[in-house]
Amino acid sequence: MLQVKNISFGYSKDKVVKNVSFSAHAGENISIIGESGSGKSSLLKLIYGEYDLDKGSISWKNQPILGPRHNLVVGYPFMKYVAQEFDLMPFITVEETIGTYLSNFYPDEKQKRINMLIDVVELTEFACVKIKNLSGGQKQRVALARAMALQPEIILLDEPFSHIDNFKKKSLRRSLFKYLKENDITCIVATHDKNDVLAFSDKLIVLHNGRLIANNTPNELYNNPPSPLVASFFGEFNTIEPYGILYAHQLQVVDDSKLKAIVKRTYYNGGHYLIEAVLNDTIVFFKTSYNLKINQKVCLKVSKT
């Protein structure tokens, strides 16, 4: 089990991680979400042992995770960290990169594992291509495969799909998280995009200004967001008294109601239109299956389903 206990850290006198505590069991997928500058990347680096803690402790299976004051070489053999900078050698191929740390004593087994990981990150057709000839998204996928080569017990991923185009993201996410779950690898992933993690996370941790403000299952946080900040991660939302926080799909157009709004803008999103309107001098958002006219008056009904 990964145990993070009451840790604090700052690059200067100001703390960027403040009294954070959480745990992760073997094979769990924990996602860290939050705004830019909320402390997500710093928290991952602390778990990896890249910095020394100002306060608190981190351990994996009761082994303390210590920083550079205690370790000449940063990191531990049971843990891998994939940063936003990939640090790949440009003049070797994809398969050579993935096999960098695999033993040459068993060449058949080595090649079999390389091929399997290339398949996981969907780069089979680029196996013999040199790194320098790959796109940014392809390099990111190589970095993911290389990190998994030695079958770590825990893997830390910082914005792991940020360079990958939308054509590949969906299938790659399914393939990667399926592999991690099947191999009982604990995954801690930091992201700002709900689509990267929502369907795959066992727990969501929300950071704000370095503090942990929520820690629960995606289902619980979605259905009962403790704050507007948490609700914003899941999509467009409204705060309407006395109903509290409502997502856009929880407001429906009806023939008559006490909630009367005026349409100001419409946005086509494929399967629906997102409507921006004014309700009681406040901007609200709701969804419809059809377009509405600007300045059209509509009546809205709250539906919690």
Shared domain check, 241 and 203: no
Shared domain check, 180 and 115: yes
Tell me if 11 sits within 8 A of 60, measured CB to CB: no
Q: Assign residue 168 the CATH number of its domain.
A: 3.40.50.300
Q: For residue 79, what are the β-bridge partners?
A: 154
Say if 231 falls within a structural domain.
no
How crowded is the C-beta side of 218, counted as CA atoms within 13 Å? 16
Q: Assign residue 279 the CATH number of its domain.
A: 2.40.50.140
Say if 12 falls within a structural domain.
yes
Q: The domain containing residue 75 runs over which residues?
A: 2-223
Shared domain check, 297 and 151: no
Which of 169, 192, 223 marks a domain boundary?
223
Shared domain check, 190 and 71: yes
Say if 60 falls within a structural domain.
yes
Shared domain check, 268 and 200: no
Which of 195, 223, 251 marks a domain boundary?
223
Say if 260 falls within a structural domain.
yes
Shared domain check, 137 and 79: yes
Non-local (6+) Cβ contacts of 221 within 8 A are: 204, 206, 214, 230, 234
Distance from C-alpha of 18 to C-alpha of 52, rounded to nearest angstrom: 14
Shared domain check, 62 and 207: yes
Shared domain check, 214 and 93: yes
Give the chain's domain count: 2
Shared domain check, 104 and 242: no
Say if 229 falls within a structural domain.
no
Here the tokens at position 184 are: 């009982």
Which tens digit of pLDDT belongs to each residue from 203-218? 999 999 999 999 999 9
How crowded is the C-beta side of 96, counted as CA atoms within 13 Å? 10
Shared domain check, 195 and 251: no
Distance from C-alpha of 15 to C-alpha of 191, rounded to nearest angstrom: 21
Say if 11 falls within a structural domain.
yes
pLDDT at residue 249, as a whole number: 94
Residue 190 CA, chain-centre distance (Å), reads 4
Per the listing, tokens 């910082």 go with 158
Low pLDDT (below 70) residues in the chain: 305
Shared domain check, 162 and 243: no
Q: Which amino acid type is present at position 138?
A: Q
- Sign of the alpha-carbon dihedral angle for 194, 197, 200, 206: negative
Say if 230 falls within a structural domain.
no
pLDDT at residue 305, as a whole number: 67
Which tens digit of pLDDT belongs to each residue from 51-87? 999 999 999 999 999 999 998 889 899 999 999 888 8
Shared domain check, 267 and 168: no
Sheet holding 211-216, edge to edge: 79-82, 154-158, 186-191, 29-34, 203-208, 211-216
pLDDT at residue 198, as a whole number: 85
Which of 223, 251, 279 marks a domain boundary?
223
pLDDT at residue 182, as a whole number: 95
Q: Cis check for the bond before 242: say yes or no (omega within 30 of 0).
A: yes
pTM higher than 0.85: yes
Say if 292 falls within a structural domain.
yes
